[in-house]
Structure 1
Amino acid sequence: MGFRLPPENLGWVRHDLTDAGWRGRMMVRHLALMTPVCVGLALLPAEWGIRVAVVALALLSSTFVVAINFADIRQARLRQHGLPVPDDPQRGHPPH
C-alpha cells in the first residue's frame, strides 16, 4: 500500500518482483485492494443495474491500467526498496 518494508524483508520483495509469476502476484494484490472498494461502491444507494455498472467500470478500468503498466509499477517498487531494476530489452528503452 505504498509503504517500504523493513530491510529483513528485501529477499521477499526481490522474489515477489523478479521471480516467475510476478505479474500474476501483482494482479492478485491489485484485486485484493480493489475488492473492498467495489463492495463499498455496490452498497451505495441506487438501482441494482447502476450499482453493477459502477462496480464493473471501477474494477475493469483499474485492472486495465495495472495490466498496461505492470513494468513501470514493478520498477517503482524495486526502486522504492533500493533493489536493482532489471533491464528489459522488450520494452525498447532502458529503465528510467
Structure 2
Amino acid sequence: MDTVTRPGPFRWLWYALGGRLPEKHHTWVLHDVTGRGWLWRHGARTSVLLTPLVFGWLLMPAPLGLRLALCLMAALVGYFYSYAYAEEAGEHRLARHGFPIGTGRRIRGEAREAAEAEAHANYLTRYRT
C-alpha cells in the first residue's frame, strides 16, 4: 500500500484552489475525498474560495447592513451549491489526480455498507440474542 504523504500548507492551498498535486500526494487525495469527514474537508476547501469574495464585498462602499446582508447571502448560496455538488466535485478532483471516474462513490459506498453491516450485527447481538 502507498504511504500517505500530506501536502504542506502552500500545496494544500493550491489543491484547495483546484490545482493538481504531485504524484506522491495522490494517496492523500484519495483519502481526502473518500475518508471519514470528507464533507467537512470539502467545506474547508469551499471556505478558501469564498472568504476572499466575502471580504471583498464587505469592503464595498455601501451601508453596513447592506454589505453584511450581501456577504451572508453570498456565503449561503456559495455553500449551498458547493454542498449540492460535493460528490461530483470530489469525483472530478479524483479524476484530475489519475483515479477512474466513480472511485469516490465506490469507496464511500463500500465504507457505508460496512458500517451498516456492523450496526446491523451489533443490533442483532444486543436485541435478538
Is 1:26 the counterpart of 2:42? The answer is yes
Q: TM-score, structure 2 length as denominator? A: 0.64
> What CA RMSD, in Å, does the superposition of the two structures yield over aligned residues?
1.5
- SS of 2:61's equivalent? coil
Deviation at 1:33, TM superposition (A): 2.1
Identity %: 35
Instruction: Indicate the structure with greater helix content.
Output: 2
Per-residue displacement from partner, 1:21-66 (whole Å, max 9, x unpaired)? 1111001111122112111110000001110111011100000001
Uncovered stretches (5+) of structure 2, i.e. residues with no partner: 1-16, 110-129
Paired positions, count: 89
One-letter amino acid matched to 2:26: L
Letter aligned with residue 65 of structure 2: G
Query: Which one scores higher on RCO, CA 8 angstroms, separation ≥ 6?
Result: 1
CA distance in 2, matches of 1:25, 1:3: 16
Rg larger in structure: 2
TM-score (norm 1): 0.84
**Deviant stretches of 4+, over 2 Å:** 86-89
What's the counterpart of residue 16 of structure 1?
Answer: 32
After superposition, give the CA deviation of every residue in 1:7-30 in whole Å (9 maximum; x if it has no partner): 111121111011111111001111
